[in-house]
Amino acid sequence: MSIIKYDYHMHTPLCGHAEGTPEEYVQHAIKMGLTEIGFSDHAPFVKGPLPGVCMNEDQLPTYIDMIDDVRKKYKDQISIKIALEADYIPGYEENTLAIIQSFNYDYIIGSVHFIGDWAFDDPGDVASWSNQDINQVYRDYYSLVRQSAESGLFDIIGHCDLVKKFGHRPTEDMTEEIIKTAETFARTSMAIEINTAGLRKKVNEMYPAIDALRIYREHNIPLTFGSDAHQPHEVGQDFNQALDLAKKAGYTEHVIFNQGLMTDKIKL
């Protein structure tokens, strides 16, 4: 029985809403039998400080030092990548580029958490959903995800159906949106992730859903795995289910990154 040994999505307390030291994440990863992890904390927000959501720009050196410290300390036990999860904010591409080029990150996860100024995945603001046309929210979301891929800023698209997080479901079929999105990912050489954090949210399923994942597979979109851990014990969580999902969708391998390049394929 194979297991997934690579977790490419986890956070640190610098973002203001994750708990535990990087060392605790690393120790849990080792306990889970992982061979490689990547820290991908929330990059500084490009429109100005966003305490409790993203680290501040002046914390980036601390972030890099912190991860580099555990990387050295545990180098004989586990490989550790330094990455970021950066928000995609249209119109701020150059500011985003400046942040992600400030260091030679192993990979950048690009995530859509905002539609306009609305943080649609904010648990403190679920009430805002009640004023929305859910079909339109889904279309706007996928359109932004495609734009984020087109921006060329990112290596991996984060949780590529996050819009379902609180269980709001469209009444119209979104298959065409997903196919267009898959075509965009293929053209722009994006990878995606199976992100298990959705299992810990109201929607209670991984990102992306099986039907979407099959479409991405048909378009040969490379795959990574991420727990999106915000606490040490979440590292590698539910990776058995993630492996099942990947195989059900027809995936036979996942990819890994080094210093901004997709360097290897690992058999599932």
Can you give the binding site for Fe ion, defined by CB under 5 A? 85, 111, 228
- Cα 201-202-203 angle, rounded to 5 deg: 90
Distance between the two ends of the chain, CA-based, in angstroms?
A: 10
Is residue 18 classed as helix, strand or coil in its secondary structure? coil
d(CA 55, CA 53): 7
Alpha carbon 115 to its chain centroid, in Å, reads 17
Q: Does 193 bind Zn ion (CB under 5 A)?
A: no
H or E stretch including 84?
strand 79-87
110 vs 222 by CB, closer to Fe ion: 110
Contacting range for Zn ion; rule: CB under 5 A; set: 76-84, 207-215, 224-232, 251-259: 224-232
Q: Are strands 261-267 and 253-258 parallel, antiparallel or unpaired?
A: antiparallel
CB of residue 111 to Zn ion, shortest distance in Å:
6
Contact track, Zn ion, 64-93, x by CB under 5 A? ------------------------------
Among 7, 228, 234, 238, binds Zn ion (CB under 5 A): 228
140 vs 228 by CB, closer to Zn ion: 228
CB of residue 244 to Fe ion, shortest distance in Å:
22
Size of the site for Zn ion (CB under 5 A): 1
Q: Which two tokens stand for residue 261?
A: 């390049």
CB of residue 193 to Fe ion, shortest distance in Å:
10
Which of Zn ion, Fe ion, none has residue 237 at its interface (CB below 5 to 8 Å by kind)? Answer: none
161 vs 228 by CB, closer to Zn ion: 228
CB of residue 191 to Zn ion, shortest distance in Å:
15
Contact 254, 225 (CB under 8 A): yes
106 vs 228 by CB, closer to Zn ion: 228
3-state secondary structure 99-139: HHCCCCCCEEEEECCEECCEECCCHHHHHHHHHCCHHHHHH
CB of residue 15 to Fe ion, shortest distance in Å:
8
Contact 160, 192 (CB under 8 A): yes
CB of residue 18 to Fe ion, shortest distance in Å:
9
Chain residues binding Zn ion by CB under 5 A are: 228
